[in-house]
Amino acid sequence: MSRLLLKLLPVAAWLFFTGCAVQKAESSAPQVNSKNSTSSQHTLYQALGGEVGLSAIVDGLLARIATDQRIVHHFQETDIALFRERAIEHFCLVADGGCVYHGENMALSHQGLNITQADFDALVGHLIESMKEQQIPLSTRNALLKRLAPMYSDITYH
């Protein structure tokens, strides 16, 4: 048993580090080709179901926000129709869908809102649930979260 574990440790470490390295290479490559690859099956955007899929995910997200007393107050003065369009554009851009995002950057658009970690966690939870409702596979969900998670610092506590 102990020998098995000792053998497993370096294998696991190798898997994790090469896994991470491969991911970096993959995530930087599509950005170069994003404009040409919108019809390709390989983009995250396509895996999320393209425009139809992303619209459904954002609609599911908005429906969950609307009934969540923890965070709905942040949207009281928000033009929901406009927010919906911007969110779809932004997710599309992030997922290499080649969309033009017409909104402000994450830091500017959340300025003065004092989004807390709890708000951000709640939104992440709703996004995951909405993607699950749309039958988005785990690996695709994780790939999108990987690209959205680093926005935490731009979005919270401003």
- Give residues in contact with another protein (CB under 8 A): 1-2, 5, 8-9, 12-13, 15-16, 19-20, 23, 70, 116-122, 124-125, 128, 132, 137-140, 142-143, 145-146, 149-150, 152-153
Cβ proximity to another protein, 105 vs 142, nearer residue: 142
DSSP string, 120-158: HHHHHHHHHHHHHHTT--HHHHHHHHHHHGGGHHHHB--
Which residue type occupies 15? L
Cβ proximity to another protein, 20 vs 81, nearer residue: 20
We find the least distance from the C-beta atom of residue 144 to another protein, in angstroms, to be: 9
We find the least distance from the C-beta atom of residue 121 to another protein, in angstroms, to be: 4
Taking Cα atoms as reference points, which of 96, 79, 87, 93 lies closest to residue 127? 87
Two structure tokens written together for 60:
């599911």
Which residue type occupies 155? I
Cβ proximity to another protein, 36 vs 139, nearer residue: 139
